[in-house]
Amino acid sequence: MSERLEDIAEAMVATGQGILAADESTGTIKKRFDQIGTENTEDNRRDYREMLFRSTEAMNYYISGVILFDETIRQKAADGTPLVELIRKAGAVPGIKVDKGAKPLAGFPGETVTEGLDGLRERLAEYYELGARFAKWRAVIDISEDDGLPSSTCIQANAHALARYAALCQEAGIVPIVEPEILMDGPTAAHDIETCYEVTEWTLNTVFSELFQMDVMLEGIVLKPNMIVPGKNAPIQAAPEEVAELTLRCLKATVPAAVPGIAFLSGGQSDELATEHLHLMNAAGSLPWKLTFSYGRALQQAALKAWGGKPENVAAAQAAFLHRAKMNGLAAKGEWQKALESA
């Protein structure tokens, strides 16, 4: 496979394919395993992820890349094959989460800045050796209208860190996934869809300004934004058509056409809505960039439930994963239909 950043980025957003976000930290995967009553051990984490990466049809046809956590990029399957090798054999690009998480922003109660820049150059060099060809860094922006959040300091600090991360990635021959997430399920999350639009537009404009300052090559990144949705606790929820329309309007106003692709996070949307929103945007006509998925929860929830931590359920879990991967693959081409969900 080509090692040019532009080619890797293009492969990550190949038509009808998207990214599997399987980079839950040890703490986050514990929350997922708690839901199915499974102990959070290193072997269980390995078995679960090996099950996903060995889902041949899903991986071969619908998954272009997989985001891994530090532990997973070093792990071997039960038969000794490195998990990275399973991903590569399926024709997908291995990627790695490199941020160290969203930490409280000093002086700004309720807000966070994502850390992990110190030593990042050295860590990227090691991850490259381990096979990673793209990376992910997630900035988190919370809307709390009563508290006047987000602050411009929070947006600026996070955008600056994202741009410094992106520049280091490109120096290392690694495509940065640039992920500024405006939370839909934050501590209050009662904001309406217009507020999400305004904060997302503000954030994306700030992020692209910082990327320009850091001389990041836009052809060699993938943007991972939230969709424009009301907060989870908002009294008025939005029709899928409205989400699609406002998300497209916001992205067209802020994301340069030089960016090869946009891969959305699911952020707490239900599986089917995350698919329907993506479909509606792709069905709306031609766009300057590819629009696809980089889902964690919306790709894995059904599979996780079907698996339930039991080896005898592996086939059922792989079937559930294939179904979601296929539905999202179709949505990435604007070819999904509700009737296919139960077919």
* Helix (H) or strand (E) segment spanning residue 146: none
Q: Shortest distance, CB of residue 101 to ligand 13P, whole angstroms?
A: 11
Question: Which CB atom, from 75 or from 266, has the smaller least distance to ligand 13P?
Answer: 266
Number of other residues whose CB lies within 10 A of the CB of residue 104: 11
Active-site hit among 97, 136, 224, 326: 224
Longest CA pairwise span in the chain (Å): 54
**Choice between 29 and 250, CB closer to ligand 13P:** 29
Q: Does 21 bind ligand 13P (CB under 6 A)?
A: yes
The torsion angle over the Cα atoms of residues 21, 27, 29 and 31, rounded to 10 degrees, is -120
Q: Is 138 in the site for ligand 13P (CB under 6 A)?
A: yes
Q: Does 134 bind ligand 13P (CB under 6 A)?
A: no
Listed residue (316, 254, 320) closest to 288, CA to CA:
254
Task: Report the alpha-carbon distance of residue 68 to residue 3 in Å, rounded.
Answer: 19
Applying CB under 6 A, does 277 fall inside the site for ligand 13P?
no
The three-state DSSP-derived secondary structure of 71-99 is: HHHCCECCCCCEHHHHHHHCCCEEEEECC
Residue nearer to ligand 13P on the CB measure, 295 or 336: 295
207 in contact with ligand 13P (CB under 6 A): no
Q: How many residues bind ligand 13P (CB under 6 A)?
A: 10
Active site residue 30: no
Give the integer Cα–Cα distance in Å for 152 and 197.
16
The answer to the question of residue 297 lying near ligand 13P (CB under 6 A) is yes
Min. distance of Cβ 300 from ligand 13P in angstroms? 8
For position 161 contacting ligand 13P by CB under 6 A, the verdict is: no
Q: How many whole angstroms separate alpha carbon 339 and alpha carbon 305? A: 22
- Interacting span for ligand 13P (CB under 6 A) from 109-117, 187-195, 205-213, 264-272: 264-272
18 binds ligand 13P (CB under 6 A): no
Q: Is 289 left (phi over 0), alpha (psi -120 to 50) or beta?
A: beta
Tell me if 298 contacts ligand 13P by CB under 6 A. Answer: yes
Cβ atoms within 10 Å of 224's Cβ, excluding its own: 24
* Whether 305 is catalytic: no
Q: Helices 152-171 and 193-213 meet at what angle, rounded to 10?
A: 50
Residue 61, both tokens: 């046809």
Among candidate residues 10, 179, 181, 276, the one labeled active-site is 179
Distances (CA, A) of 88 to 133, 199, 203: 11, 37, 34
Q: Which of 225, 230, 231, 296 binds ligand 13P (CB under 6 A)?
A: 296
Query: Which residue number, 137 or 289, has a Cβ lying nearer to ligand 13P?
Result: 137
Nearer to ligand 13P, 221 or 265 (CB): 265
Exactly one of 157, 265, 325, 331 binds ligand 13P (CB under 6 A); which one?
265
Do 89 and 97 touch, CB atoms closer than 8 A?
Answer: no
Binding site for ligand 13P (CB under 6 A): 21, 138, 179, 265-267, 295-298
Q: Which residues are catalytic?
A: 179, 224
